Amino acid sequence: MYITGASELPLHSGHVPPYLLQYMKRLGKAIAMYILDEFGPTTLVKRLSDPLWFQAFNNVIGMDWDSSGSTTVVLYVLKDFANVNTFKDIGFAILGGKGIDSRQISEELKALERYSNLDIDRLSYSSRLSAKIDGVALQDGYTLYIHGMAISEDSTWTIIQQGMNINIKQARRYHIYSSNIITAENDPHSGIACNNVGVALNLIDRESHRARKTIIDIVNDDVHSVIREIAEINRMLRRNSTLTKWINKEHSISTNKRYIDPNKNPLFYRPITNLSRIENILRHIASIEPKNFDELLLMRNVGPETIRALALVADIIYSDTPSFRDPVTHAIDPFIYAYAHGGKDGIPYPIKINVMKESIEFLERAIIEAKIDDKTKKDSLKRLHRLWKDILNSIIHEKDFKDQ
């Protein structure tokens, strides 16, 4: 079983004020610890796989409702109390993070090897393949710079990744959840949410089945022939703007198979930037002979350019066109949750520290009481629900009054 999704967020400037970050950490811990105590670590891992729930959590603790920094803040708020050092006590941890921290997951997993219930090999494999799925097999114009992992004591995991499109200054967040092994040969995204839908090189789509098979066939065939085909395709792509004299339709490329319109997918139909590097990687691939697409993706140095070059051969030479579908299914608008305590940027209103303090104290008291007996636990949960409804109703009433 696996569930995934993604959200797209604009790039914001500025940092969380230190005083506010302390409240975010305290409230985030209180919410997460209540879930851990009431429902268990696996439930929290699964909830983090839902991009709407993830964003709502971000909003409730006071982070900007639509900021690209929300991913970083949520991960580090959780990791502050749920990490390798505390895993034994709470059965839940956040690994990795932004930038250099994203490359620490392997070391952090090694530190957890002493816990016999954890399948470290499977967790490591899932981490590496997830990064290749969203960074290589799916090429949508976003470059990954955050790679985090939430794990529970039974080896259930959620990968949370984020990529940045520097041209439009927007970030896209990807979630992959599973209690099993995933594969790039079966689109692992059950829900991707963002406001912008474009085109992509989508080799994890069902419609890319033939393209994936052809790619594996050609890398295990005559490597010299593949290199020549890529070089020829590259020459065509480099001079596509002057090829109108070859054909009837402007801005298309004539091949011995059909006409190719580069404008159909500019992310895909563009020249390879470093042919000599691609040639060296292809020779290495040929010496290994990968059995399937997952093995190819996980090979060292096989990145977006290599996969795109092979997909171009599959498309232009063998007529097995990959999917160009940007795997977006619905838009996310969790703005209502920003009314819980306000937002760092003052939207929908400046954070009400007193209300945040009340929520924190209520949750922390509920957690302590919940450890006493089941009746107290249930009563605490009912009071928490009533408090939330009262806060939400008063805020909505206040907003409606101002709008009149």
What is residue 52's predicted lDDT score, i.e. its pLDDT?
80
What is residue 251's predicted lDDT score, i.e. its pLDDT?
42
* pLDDT tens-digit readout, 354-366: 666 666 666 667 6
For the cut 90, the answer to whether the pLDDT of residue 252 exceeds it is no
* CA 80 from centre of chain: 21
Name the pairing type of β-strands 143-152 and 92-98: antiparallel
Crossing angle for the helix pair 304-312 and 275-288, to the nearest 10 degrees? 80
Beta bridge partners of 325: 199
Question: Hey, what are 24's tokens?
Answer: 């975010």
For the cut 60, the answer to whether the pLDDT of residue 188 exceeds it is yes
Q: Residue 169 — pLDDT band, cuts 50, 70, 90? A: confident
For residues 340 and 145, what is the distance between their CA atoms, to the nearest angstrom? 29
At 362 the three-state DSSP class reads: helix
The model's pTM is 0.79
Give the mean model confidence (pLDDT) for residues 274-284: 96
Percentage of the chain modeled with pLDDT above 90: 50
Q: Residue 315 — pLDDT band, cuts 50, 70, 90? A: very high
Give the mean model confidence (pLDDT) for residues 331-347: 53
Of the ranges 127-131, 155-159, 387-391, which one carries the lowest mean pLDDT score?
A: 387-391
**Conformational region of residue 155, where left means phi above 0, alpha means psi within -120 to 50, and beta covers everything else:** left
At 8 the three-state DSSP class reads: strand
For residues 300 and 303, what is the distance between their CA atoms, to the nearest angstrom? 8
Of the ranges 17-26, 249-258, 274-283, which one carries the lowest mean pLDDT score?
A: 249-258
Write phi, then psi, for 277 (nearest 5 degrees). Answer: -65, -45
Give yes or no for a cis peptide into 348 (omega within 30° of 0): yes
For the cut 50, the answer to whether the pLDDT of residue 312 exceeds it is yes
Give the mean model confidence (pLDDT) for residues 155-173: 89
Kindly write down the DSSP assignment for every residue of 55-84, as one continuous string: HHHHHHTT--TT-TTHHHHHHHHHHTTSST
Question: Hey, what are 192's tokens?
Answer: 């991707």
Question: Hey, what are 383's tokens?
Answer: 């009071």
Measure the CA angle with vertex 96, ends 133 and 149; round to 5°.
55
For residues 162 and 129, what is the distance between their CA atoms, to the nearest angstrom? 15
* pLDDT tens-digit readout, 199-250: 999 999 999 999 999 999 999 999 999 999 999 999 888 875 433 433 434 4
For residues 371 and 373, what is the distance between their CA atoms, to the nearest angstrom? 6
Strand ranges in 157-271 using DSSP code E only, listed in sequence order: 157-165, 170-178, 199-202, 253-254, 259-260
- How many distinct helices (H) and strands (E) make up the chain? 14, 10
First and final CA of the chain: distance in angstroms? 48
**pLDDT, greater one: 1 or 112:** 112
Of the ranges 101-105, 150-154, 197-201, which one carries the lowest mean pLDDT score?
A: 197-201
What is residue 329's predicted lDDT score, i.e. its pLDDT?
64
